Amino acid sequence: MDVIQFLSSLLDLHRQQLQALTRQGEIQAEVLAQLLQGEGCGGGKMRRSGPGERELRMPAMRQQEQNPEAYLAVFEQAAASSRLPRGEWGARLATLLSDDVWAEETYPVARSSSTPDYYDALKAKILSQARAAEEQSWLDFSSVAYDPAKGVRDLGLRLSAAAERWLRPERRTAVQVVQRVALEQFVSLLPEEAKSWVHGQTPGTMEEAIRLAEQHLSVSNEEGPSPAHVRIKLQTDTSHWREWGKGQQSGK
């Protein structure tokens, strides 16, 4: 790699890191603007502050939110700063989910729930939905096919667009993009049963994927070959003895 390529890669890395921080900065700017203007947000009534508490103001979480991790990080900072009781975080977050995000079939727990663990459950559900959306983006990328009627230029453009939707370079560093590609390739090269199982666990890092694969393969080896493998082995052995028998008969 020459100096120009190195500098270009370095600039690209800085650009991606800045873009990843931009969204979090936008959320924080919205929060600050609403604090200064004293306006309600989230489409619902503002919670009354108790003794020693300040009002928690956050912009609504939109369906097109591309970085739910950053949104939730800002929410937690705002909730802690406003001294909102931890047990009320879930109910407050629920009021910030805009109508295009909220769906009873997706988040079946009532919005008014104030159990201490409701926030953790709601956060896990939001992140799970985000992972599912990313998984769908990966499937869309991997299913791009060549259309002779549209030509190779169309193929290249569609593949590039699908890759950007999947890898989200605006919210990942160059290193994270490489790790994501390597992770998906690693899972795809596993034996079929292990691949399906590890894939269903949605590992977030290569180390986690390796650990899950080792765990599954270890259990599979302890249990012995599957019935399908046994049938194949028996068929092979039967064929061997059948051929041996034919040889014995022809030799007589």
User: Which of 78, 106, 130 represents a domain boundary (last residue)?
Assistant: 130
Tens of each residue's pLDDT in the chain, 252 residues:
555 565 566 566 666 666 666 666 666 666 555 544 444 444 443 444 444 445 667 777 776 666 788 888 888 888 888 888 888 888 888 888 866 555 544 555 555 455 668 888 888 888 888 888 888 888 899 899 999 999 999 999 999 999 998 888 877 888 888 898 999 999 999 999 999 899 888 888 899 999 999 999 988 777 655 544 434 444 444 454 455 455 555 555
Question: What pLDDT, on the 0 to 100 scale, is given for residue 20?
Answer: 60
Give the pLDDT of residue 36: 41
Q: Are residues 123 and 184 in the same domain?
A: no
| Same domain, yes or no: 62 and 121 | yes
Cα separation, 99 vs 136, whole angstroms: 22
- The CA–CA distances, whole Å, from 148 to 153, 172, 243 equal 10, 34, 49
Instruction: State the DSSP code for 107.
Output: S
Specify the DSSP class assigned to residue 39: -
Pairwise CA distance, residues 200 & 1, whole Å: 38
Fill in the DSSP letter of residue 97: B
Measured from the Cβ of residue 119, the count of other Cβ atoms closer than 10 Å reads 24
Q: What is the DSSP string of 173-200?
A: -HHHHHHHHHHHHHHHTS-HHHHHHHHH
Alpha-carbon gap, residue 153 to 89, rounded angstroms: 49
Asked whether residue 10 is domain-assigned, the answer is: no
Last residue of a domain, one of 102, 130, 158: 130
Q: What is the pLDDT of residue 77?
A: 87
**Could you tell me how many helices (H) and strands (E) the chain has, helices first?**
9, 0
Tokens standing for residue 215: 């765990």
Q: Which domain, by its residues, includes 206? A: 174-245
The CA–CA distances, whole Å, from 186 to 194, 207, 247 equal 11, 11, 46
Is 68 inside any structural domain?
yes
Of 66, 96, 130, the residue that ends a domain is: 130
Report d(CA 15, CA 241) in Å as an integer. 67
Q: Are 106 and 199 in a shared domain?
A: no
Q: How far apart are CA 48 and CA 38, in angstroms?
A: 13
